Structure 1
């Protein structure tokens, strides 16, 4: 769907239809493959084989061996690490999770329930049809669970309050559910969460009460609430968890495919990370916490006024990334985290305007939050964080540069030896095809655009991160009314910008000259 097309007339009905499709059992094995995608796979494999057979022998040329060795070592490291994630994820799905699932279900079916459930939900000018789905699913699951609950709604607009108030009037009188509105008096999602958390603290919750953090566009899948609550009953040491996620996208078709691909990557990564009793994000879409861990002033201030001290940009507060701040706080405290693969939430993404611009905005926000909090996580050290998770955070920063090697080779090949471009492109296609075949195990369907979307996503993400390393203070949030971090554009700021720009340009030049030096040392490229 092109991004300039209007939404369906019956948006509520269309969302319900898509939810029903996503809630249906997912096909498995060969049933995921359409005839079209199978034909595209065969054609891609044949094209790669033909290229290997008939192209000039640049890869195995004796004089180009230094490039080949360097790329081989780099590939063995990167894809060996990726295969390690895949191995851990498969072990979690096949061995660890079934055991946890049986224990969880036994606890829930045995009658265990938390004393009280607090739902912290922030919403900002959502479509009424989306809000209706969100509230209906949430209330239905609270009622089915039999848990006394308070839904705290942080709003910044009267429209959201009216929509939810109208829905509240339709609820049965015998439900043990209270809906409380918390109108934020300062802009930003962080302040809304802070106000809600202070209101929850004033109720003096029991340490083992549960608190849900969710967004106003998140629809719970079947039994998601019960599955998540029961995890805390099954494991008294568990302090926080997050869930599986799917997107219902209204926008360009390629954006839907891109989000589907990213969520498949997320499933694989989450299942690998949680083997270490940690995850790399407690997503704001839906996460759940034990009250004793998050009902304190330190946690609330971390959400409201989190900041970073930077040698060049000084101290600046975070605009978005409240979920990353939450994650860092629990990581610092050594809390045990979990991931529930069979608990699904569905987020409704409405893409207005340019899909490409929205993608870059999302990458900038996600990558910026990751870099800002990852830097602090690394400072905690591997003992406190755990060696595997600590290395995962470090690897995210290293991968920024290793990912840019192949596009650098392609660009330099245009100058030094056009024939090598074919070899570089062949490597890109084959490697991303193999990665996509592994990701298809974590998707509802096969999509042969993924190898190309995967590479484009990796390159774009690395380029965005490479900029944000030097400009970490730049923050925008399109989903919250186009918020931007306040910046005083005086002469001091312009001087700092000049310094950061110089650093970025010289770093990128050094990177490209390093790749060119490696290429230029071979007779194939004629020397430099």
Structure 2
């Protein structure tokens, strides 16, 4: 069945592509050149990242790993392991699996472990204690459990409070701190894998590969798995520069003495930006971006481990795939764009030219992605509707090739035929969401929490700000359409 669907897909590409002719492309020469230049820009950037990712995965990372383990063994330093886990509205089965993995990993920590668990619900507190009592970690004199039950005021408050608890234990520069969400299972040997990396004093944090556990088959499952496949490629590319673009909230590790620095904790708890039009925007979500920016600003390296994998339980947050994808994209891209601007203002010499350029590309790609289909539609209106068929064939072919490369990077041959469509959906609709959020950085909402930054009744000032967001958004798209219109018309 999978083979038949792939044959049908490629057949459609051939049929649509047959609409192309020399005269057709020649009549819309300026538009074809513009689309070609945009495509060359995007595809060359994708190729650069793929080559970098392959080199990192096959050559660079194994060498770095061997050097780190040798350096760690020779140092003789003890590396106490701290675990920080936050749980909120997680189902019981997932909670049990997660904490069993945490306790198993703590039990395997060579130099002892301290586990700090932040919970809101009393039932979660009792369950964690029960799981700990029946685990081997409870019999290990070097493993300690601290359960902190807090008011449900948000993840940032929970993290800050837990960081302060750990700070009272005065962690050294050799100790490590693993931060994980309450829906993420960690590898049993996680401390053995990450502790050697921190033997390099320039390393401030690291993050790892991720897998996702979604029980129900369908578009949401395919979309998430494809996203994690894409993530592996991009993280490997950025890993070559020793500075990833995010410290994933599901599971990342920090040098414990840095994560307990008062300024680090303050940024996690009360991060914000001052925006010329929006005023002060206090961050509700995006704690992983706050930790990332603190380390980036202070010049620390942030490493990627492609051969260490956490497993996160994910459920569809809304009734339909579209609604679920939309709410997640708004949150993800809002977090990215709120931190992106201030990161660009840092010196490229501090983070490296490639990292700085990658951050810039996060904004440029919004408009290059949107411009392609707009140019194609305008060319069809001015010249020949067959140009749309040719453009669709090109999109289908290139996304098929991209997905083939992305899944092959994972060592897999074959993929659901939904992948090329989902890839283009993520690119095009994702760019539209980014263009919307870019002018509304003050809009924030957690997926599982009911609190949102715009949930209260708006004042007159807030209404004016909201109106200005619409105006700026429409004005930007207006100028984009004018520029593309002039190009398509050959003026």
| TM bracket (short chain) | over 0.9
1:99-498 superposed matches below 5 A: 99-106=63-70, 114-172=78-136, 173-175=138-140, 176-185=142-151, 187-221=153-187, 223-233=189-199, 235-251=200-216, 253-354=218-319, 355-412=321-378, 415-416=381-382, 417-443=384-410, 445=412, 446-447=414-415, 448-479=417-448, 481-486=449-454, 489-498=458-467
1:71-86 superposed matches below 5 A: 71-86=35-50
Deviation at 1:180, TM superposition (A): 0.8
Deviation at 1:59, TM superposition (A): 7.9
Instruction: Name the Cα RMSD after superposition.
Output: 2.1
Question: Normalized against structure 1, the TM-score is what?
Answer: 0.87
| Structure-1 separation of matches of 2:16 and 2:39 | 20
Per-residue CA deviation, residues 57-90 of structure 1 (Å, 9 max, x unaligned), is 2786322110111111111111111100011111
Deviation at 1:467, TM superposition (A): 0.7
Quick one: structure 1 residues 470 and 353, their matched pair in 2 at CA, closer, same or farther if it must change by over 3 Å?
closer
Match of 1:503 among 467, 472, 483: 472
Quick one: structure 1 residues 492 and 118, their matched pair in 2 at CA, closer, same or farther if it must change by over 3 Å?
same
1:58-73 superposed matches below 5 A: 61-73=25-37
| Structure-1 separation of matches of 2:20 and 2:359 | 40
| Structure-2 separation of matches of 1:253 and 1:108 | 45
Per-residue CA deviation, residues 185-243 of structure 1 (Å, 9 max, x unaligned), is 4601000000001111112122221111110011013533321223224x343221000
Contact 1:238 1:337 survives alignment (8 Å): yes
Per-residue CA deviation, residues 157-180 of structure 1 (Å, 9 max, x unaligned), is 212112111212213443121111
Quick one: structure 1 residues 419 and 115, their matched pair in 2 at CA, closer, same or farther if it must change by over 3 Å?
closer
Partner secondary structure for residue 466 of structure 1: helix
Which deviates the most, 332-341 or 403-412?
A: 403-412
Quick one: structure 1 residues 385 and 488, their matched pair in 2 at CA, closer, same or farther if it must change by over 3 Å?
farther
Deviation at 1:515, TM superposition (A): 2.0
Quick one: structure 1 residues 273 and 343, their matched pair in 2 at CA, closer, same or farther if it must change by over 3 Å?
same
Deviation at 1:424, TM superposition (A): 1.4
Contact 1:475 1:485 survives alignment (8 Å): yes
Contact 2:104 2:188 survives alignment (8 Å): no
Deviation at 1:340, TM superposition (A): 0.7
| Structure-2 separation of matches of 1:150 and 1:59 | 71
Q: What's the counterpart of residue 515 of structure 1?
A: 484
Q: What's the counterpart of residue 17 of structure 1?
A: none
| Structure-2 separation of matches of 1:407 and 1:222 | 47
Which deviates the most, 408-417 or 513-522?
A: 408-417
Partner secondary structure for residue 204 of structure 2: strand
| Structure-1 separation of matches of 2:162 and 2:275 | 30
Contact 1:116 1:147 survives alignment (8 Å): yes
Per-residue CA deviation, residues 13-37 of structure 1 (Å, 9 max, x unaligned), is xxxxxxxxxxxxxxxxxxxxxxx44
Partner secondary structure for residue 214 of structure 2: strand
Contact 2:156 2:287 survives alignment (8 Å): yes
| Structure-2 separation of matches of 1:439 and 1:483 | 37
Partner secondary structure for residue 403 of structure 1: helix
Q: What's the counterpart of residue 20 of structure 1?
A: none
Contact 1:125 1:159 survives alignment (8 Å): no
| Structure-2 separation of matches of 1:271 and 1:251 | 29
Point out where structure 1 has 5 or more consecutive residues left out of the alignment.
Answer: 1-35, 523-528
Deviation at 1:286, TM superposition (A): 0.8
Point out where structure 2 has 5 or more consecutive residues left out of the alignment.
Answer: none
Contact 2:105 2:187 survives alignment (8 Å): no
1:17-96 superposed matches below 5 A: 36-52=1-17, 54-57=18-21, 61-96=25-60
Contact 2:85 2:118 survives alignment (8 Å): yes
| Structure-2 separation of matches of 1:110 and 1:40 | 55
Deviation at 1:292, TM superposition (A): 2.6
Contact 2:108 2:188 survives alignment (8 Å): no
Which deviates the most, 60-69 or 111-120?
A: 111-120
Partner secondary structure for residue 502 of structure 1: helix
Partner secondary structure for residue 106 of structure 2: helix
- In the alignment of these two chains, the number of paired residues is 484
Which deviates the most, 41-50 or 350-359?
A: 41-50
Quick one: structure 1 residues 493 and 251, their matched pair in 2 at CA, closer, same or farther if it must change by over 3 Å?
farther
